[in-house]
Amino acid sequence: MPLQIITSVEEMQNYSSVLRAKGKTIGFVPTMGYLHEGHAALIRHSCLEADITIVSVFVNPTQFGPNEDFSRYPRDFERDCHVAEEAGAAIMYAPTVEEMYPNGYSSMVLAGKESQVFDGVSRPGHFNGVVTVVAKLFNAVKPHIAVFGQKDYQQTLVIKRLVKDLDFDIRIIIAPTERELNGLARSSRNVYLSEHDRENASLIYKALTAAVDARQQGEKNAHSLQAIMQKILMTIPHVHIEYAQAVHADTLMETLDFSDDNSIVFLVAIRLGTTRLIDNFVWHP
């Protein structure tokens, strides 16, 4: 069946209500478009879990700061539809900014405690925009499950908190990060990188895996683990390191030394020129 495109909130709600009345389970993959293999993997994961998979494409202005890349964020709707359909999606939900935030719109959801560190500090207001648009998308699509990628690790914790605190009856699935051959996490923003920068950016993965190896070999001191990442990242020409930290995986809380039973998330955010890249690795005992 060819991909169906829906652009209005009302039509999306009505369509999902009919699916639910028929006993169909709805899977949902929210995106900002410019779909790549990472998104396709999320869609395929949803298709395994649900009868019908809906993909949304919406570049959300409320999660971009005044000096960020909203206006130049890559967009290619025709390509998005092709990738989504090839991966197994049945519906593309593509509302306009005016449909999502009509004249007079003034409400905002406040993100929980997981939003108050890392990207929540460097990108003030970002997560409030994220949880607001995700809540609106959930109310339009009415999914049973929603699939997010681990690459945006802090965002996954913020979304889980949203679902728990506001009683959304939705199961959240976190799918593994898809990577290019050199280890670079797949991201729509990778299109901004030159070939030289793309190769240098692969050192992010090298930094993460070096820290994970050190923990595997018994290193428990957070500063030592962070120093391993920073040393490798600093070899990238003209890099600006926003953070390279090892924290508790469930809470993002910092500690001096980890205990034997602590799960750890290694988090990195850097800038290469005007391009911001994030990645992570979760280590479990």
Can you list the alpha helix ranges (DSSP code H) found in the chain?
9-21, 37-49, 77-87, 97-100, 119-122, 126-141, 153-165, 195-201, 203-216, 222-233
Report the alpha-carbon distance of residue 55 to residue 23 in Å, rounded. Answer: 19
| Catalytic residue IDs | 39
Check: CB of residue 247 under 8 Å from CB of residue 265: yes
Q: Nearest-CA neighbor of 210 among 261, 284, 262, 283? A: 283
* Amino acid at site 127: F
Cα maximum dimension of the chain: 57
Question: From the DSSP assignment, how many helices (H) and strands (E) are in the chain?
Answer: 10, 9
Instruction: List the Cα angle 201/281/277 in 5-degree steps.
Output: 30
